[in-house]
């Protein structure tokens, strides 16, 4: 496994990625003190309790795609401010900050890449960019990723990590759910495989559109998955939520996941699935 030793394409830290900058770090799952080096070797998962630290979209590119195989598309798409949205801050300032902080132009990167030699249309979301929220840019990039799958007749892989639709683009964000799902209907009709990978968290508008529509849906362990946020549900029912509610394990139990896969096994699993799910000739 050469990919994680490559120094030039190091997995690097960021605020919401939970990846530590120091030599030592405390696991959020079990409290164990782990060296950052061993954490990194372990795919940013705790060797003791298997807690999966959140990583970024570029990290998934390195983790899942064959070396240097990503041909990135639509990286030049950036948010407009269609509503002139302002709360305590201007939306345009929020976007500018997120771009500066993450080095990304929005909350998803997409392109054509290879997984163990299988050519795929690939997209990975990034929570570090305004909570991975889906506005017009994310919707458009996902739509184009689906269209690339259709045009080239290659499988679609989407790694989701999102709190849902982006509030600051209002109804336009909501409509991205319809746009992406309608295109997936076309993909489905053409019998092109789509594997949806859910990571922590995948909720609301993203969960209620493309993330739920994979032919096969897999999730990393202990991810928060669901439609409504746990706080909203607790408020509505006026009580405590049961333990493990809205976790990957809960989703699997209720029949909405095919499998829970450790990050260390993710590439192998995708590769295996792609071997079975071929585009009919």
**Displacement of CA 9 from its chain's centroid (Å):** 19
Residue 272 binds another protein, judged by CB under 8 A: no
Residue 62 binds another protein, judged by CB under 8 A: no
Residue 178 binds another protein, judged by CB under 8 A: yes
Q: Quote the CA–CA distance of 173 and 164 in Å, as a whole number.
A: 9
Q: Note every long-range contact of 18-21, with CB atoms under 8 Å and residues 24 or more positions apart, other chains counting.
A: 18/53, 18/54, 19/44, 19/53, 19/54, 19/55
Span of 7-15, 16-24, 76-84, 263-271 interacting with another protein by CB under 8 A: 76-84
The alpha carbon torsion through 138, 144, 146, 148 (nearest 10 deg) reads -150
Residue 136 binds another protein, judged by CB under 8 A: yes
Minimum gap (Å) between residue 5 Cβ and another protein: 33
Q: Quote the CA–CA distance of 192 and 278 in Å, as a whole number.
A: 8
Residue 107 binds another protein, judged by CB under 8 A: no
Residue 183 binds another protein, judged by CB under 8 A: yes
Any idea what DSSP says for residue 161? E
Span of 31-39, 54-62, 77-85, 118-126 interacting with another protein by CB under 8 A: 77-85
Residue 165 binds another protein, judged by CB under 8 A: yes
Q: Could you write out the DSSP letters of every residue in 168-198?
A: GGHHHHHHHHHHHHHHHHHHHHTT--EEEEE
CB-based contact 196:160 (threshold 8 Å): yes
Please give the residues from 87 up to 106 whose contact with another protein meets the rule CB under 8 A.
87-88, 105
Please give the residues from 215 up to 244 whose contact with another protein meets the rule CB under 8 A.
226-229, 232-233, 235-237, 241-242
**Site residues, another protein (CB under 8 A):** 76-80, 82-83, 85-88, 105, 135-137, 139-140, 143, 165-167, 169-179, 181-186, 188-189, 203-205, 207-213, 226-229, 232-233, 235-237, 241-242, 245-246, 250, 254-256
């Amino acid at each position: 496994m050469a990919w994680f030793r490559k120094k030039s394409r190091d997995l690097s830290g960021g605020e919401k990625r939970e990846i530590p900058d120091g030599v030592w770090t405390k696991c959020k799952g079990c409290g164990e003190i782990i060296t950052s080096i061993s954490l990194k070797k372990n795919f940013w998962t705790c060797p003791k309790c298997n807690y999966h630290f959140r990583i970024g979209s570029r990290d998934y590119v390195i983790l899942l795609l064959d070396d240097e195989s990503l041909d990135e598309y639509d990286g030049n798409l950036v948010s407009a401010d269609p509503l002139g949205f302002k709360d305590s801050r201007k939306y345009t300032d929020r976007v500018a900050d997120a771009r500066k902080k993450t080095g990304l132009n929005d909350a998803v990167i997409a392109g054509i890449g290879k997984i163990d030699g299988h050519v795929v249309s690939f997209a990975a979301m990034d929570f570090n960019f305004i909570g991975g929220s889906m506005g017009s840019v994310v919707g458009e990039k996902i739509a184009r990723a689906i269209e690339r799958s259709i045009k080239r007749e290659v499988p679609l892989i989407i790694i989701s990590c999102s709190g849902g639709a982006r509030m600051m683009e209002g109804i336009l964000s909501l409509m991205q759910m319809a746009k992406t799902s309608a295109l997936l209907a076309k993909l489905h009709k053409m019998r092109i495989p789509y594997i949806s990978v859910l990571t922590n968290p995948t909720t609301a508008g993203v969960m209620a559109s493309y993330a739920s529509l994979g032919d096969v849906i897999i999730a990393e362990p202990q991810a928060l998955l669901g439609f409504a946020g746990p706080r909203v549900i607790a408020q509505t029912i006026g009580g405590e939520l049961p333990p493990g509610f809205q976790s990957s394990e809960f989703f699997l139990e209720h029949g909405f996941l095919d499998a829970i896969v450790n990050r260390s096994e993710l590439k192998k699993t995708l590769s295996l699935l792609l071997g079975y799910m071929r585009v009919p000739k």
